[in-house]
Amino acid sequence: MNRTLFYCLMFVFILASGLLAACAQATPTPAPTVAPTAAPKPTVAPTIAPTTAPTAAPTVAKRDLRREKLAANDGWAAQGNGTSGGAAATADQVYTVKNRKELIAALNDGKYPPPSTTPSNTAKIIYIDGTIDANVDDNNKPLTCQDYARDGYTIQAYNAAFDPATWGRKAVSGTLETARVTSQKAQDERVRIRVGSNTTIVGLGQKAMLRGAWFDVRGTATAPLSNIIIRNITFQDTFDCFPQWDPTDGAEGNWNSLYDAISLRYVDHVWIDHNTFEDRDTADSKAPTYFGRHFEQHDGTLDITNAADLVTVSWNKFQNHDKTMLIGSSDTGATATGDRGKLRVTLHHNFFDNTGQRTPRVRFGQVHVYNNYYRIVDNPKYGYSWGVGIESQIYAENNYFKTDDKVVLAKIIGNYKGTAIYAAGTRVNDKDVDLLAAHNAANETKIAAKVDWKPTLVVKVDPIESVISTVESGAGPINW
Ligand code: CA
Ligand code: CA
């Protein structure tokens, strides 16, 4: 053996020993998820394992929303037995619906027209497949506002009759107001969709849409509804063809409409999750002005009133709407009596994008508002975000506001005869701010910084740093 060969062999030996030592050190911590590259033969091309192979490393599993229940401790709707919607449905109560008629039948034990205005409380799961328009006839032919007009109603005739210059400032009445009410009822019969107890309604995939519909979720004071899940649906353009002119509403009068996208009344244990609510074709910015006032064709988006209770509203997008979420409808009277001790709502990880007001506006309820993202940019109609109403108990944590310089800090909290709000961890445009201190500094009537409850039904409050990215990527319908 010559000297050169000897050194060469020594070199190879040392190199190999070093490699072996390195491998031995590396082996205790193999990457657990990278299965295919662990193939022992380096000559085998490290292809990706076929999808049929049961041993393939699992990627992110698609979620299956069908029978999902609200997670334990996920907000007020998790109280007691929690919220399972139609998870217990038998096979004959699982429906996939593609139009208004099929949707209404599914809510009424498969019957159309429904035998009564009381929907079925039998456990049921309803998948929304594609776009369902509520403004259609029984053959799914679109109906326009003109199709609903009755007894000579036109907006021109209505406005001619009630022009303040001639009619004055008294409440409207007479032939044209009666015609408006009759016309409104004709639309109401098509767009109002009643939902019963023990129901899950969930959009298939990411593109399920309900256009022009009003989900009227309403029990009675003595027989409230219970246990309802509404998820993964885009609610678009819920609108009233026949707004009423009310000359006595405010100093200049107002146009008022019926129909929220969802109304919750006399119902408990409701989970509203991963939906988008938006006005598009009927956006306020496109509406005319009559008598100097905006022709408002919308009411609320998600109104929670009349002793509704134990509601979790999570991961929704609320876009381009003025009055968004009213919690409690009146300071006094019968509803106020029933509301006291109820209206308990949790709002988390929702994206309020250019909403005008009421996000939420609260009377009476203990309302937990955390990890929501509010974007208020170029919105001339912005009023306020958190309405502190009579006997309300808002507990707000780690909410993020992104605003332009037209939004005054002191106006983000609005006082509507309230006395208290807890608000911590709020950030506005990268700065930690005390919204209540800003409000109190600008107003004679002060609001106390302490409420008499502390939320216990919480999965996790995220740090403020992650709120924008988490909510922007996670809110609204998910692809499944
Ligand atoms: Ca109204
Ligand atoms: Ca309403």
Domain count, the chain: 2
Could you say which DSSP state residue 171 is in? Answer: P
Asked if residue 299 and residue 324 are part of one domain, the reply reads yes
Could you say which DSSP state residue 340 is in? Answer: T
Asked if residue 5 and residue 109 are part of one domain, the reply reads no
Catalytic residue among 358, 361, 363, 375: 358
Asked if residue 429 and residue 321 are part of one domain, the reply reads yes
Residue 479 lies in a domain: no
Given the DSSP bridges, would you call strands 421-424 and 393-397 parallel, antiparallel or unpaired?
Answer: parallel
* CA–centroid distance, residue 409 to ligand 2 (Å): 27
Interval 172-208: pLDDT, tens = 999 999 999 999 999 999 999 999 999 999 999 999 9
Asked if residue 159 and residue 199 are part of one domain, the reply reads yes
Residue 71 lies in a domain: no
CA 115 to chain CA centroid, Å, is 30
Q: Which ligand places an atom closest to the C-alpha of 361? A: 2
Asked if residue 174 and residue 33 are part of one domain, the reply reads no
Can 358 be counted among the known catalytic residues?
yes
Residue 66 lies in a domain: no
* CA–centroid distance, residue 299 to ligand 2 (Å): 5
**Cα separation, 71 vs 9, whole angstroms:** 65
Asked if residue 373 and residue 457 are part of one domain, the reply reads yes
**Cα separation, 222 vs 365, whole angstroms:** 20
Given the DSSP bridges, would you call strands 289-290 and 413-416 parallel, antiparallel or unpaired?
Answer: unpaired
Cα-flanking dihedrals φ and ψ of residue 312, to 5°? -115, 125
pLDDT for the residue 64 = 85
Residue 68 lies in a domain: no
CATH code where residue 117 lies = 2.160.20.10
* CA–centroid distance, residue 305 to ligand 1 (Å): 14
Q: Which residues surround ligand 2, an ion (CB under 5 A)?
A: 260, 299-300, 303
* CA–centroid distance, residue 104 to ligand 2 (Å): 21
**Cα separation, 98 vs 25, whole angstroms:** 59
Torsion of CA 11, 13, 15, 16, to 10 degrees: 160
Residue 21 lies in a domain: yes
Asked if residue 30 and residue 145 are part of one domain, the reply reads no
* CA–centroid distance, residue 256 to ligand 1 (Å): 5
Tokens for 45, please give them: 């091309």
Q: Which ligand places an atom closest to the C-alpha of 216? A: 2
Domain that holds residue 340: 76-474
* CA–centroid distance, residue 429 to ligand 1 (Å): 31
Could you say which DSSP state residue 297 is in? Answer: -
Question: For the chain, how are helix, strand and coil distributed in percent, rounded to 5?
Answer: 20, 25, 50
H or E element, residue 187: helix 175-191
Per-residue pLDDT of the chain (480 residues; tens, 9 = 90+): 455 554 545 554 544 444 444 433 433 333 344 444 333 444 444 445 444 445 555 666 778 898 999 999 999 999 999 999 999 999 999 999 999 999 999 999 999 999 999 999 999 999 999 999 999 999 999 999 999 999 999 999 999 999 999 999 999 999 999 999 999 999 999 999 999 999 999 999 999 999 999 999 999 999 999 999 999 999 999 999 999 999 999 999 999 999 999 999 999 999 999 999 999 999 999 999 999 999 999 999 999 999 999 999 999 999 999 999 999 999 999 899 899 999 999 999 999 999 999 999 999 999 999 999 999 999 998 999 999 999 999 999 999 999 999 999 999 999 999 999 999 999 999 999 999 999 999 999 999 999 999 999 999 999 999 999 999 999 999 999
* CA–centroid distance, residue 296 to ligand 1 (Å): 8
Q: Which ligand places an atom closest to the C-alpha of 298? A: 1
Asked if residue 50 and residue 95 are part of one domain, the reply reads no
Residues with Cβ within 8 Å of 193's Cβ and at least 6 positions away in sequence, in order, are: 100, 103, 104, 107, 134, 213, 214, 215, 216
Asked if residue 169 and residue 21 are part of one domain, the reply reads no
User: Domain boundary at 34, 59, 84, which?
Assistant: 59
Q: Which ligand places an atom closest to the C-alpha of 308? A: 2
Given the DSSP bridges, would you call strands 302-305 and 262-265 parallel, antiparallel or unpaired?
Answer: parallel
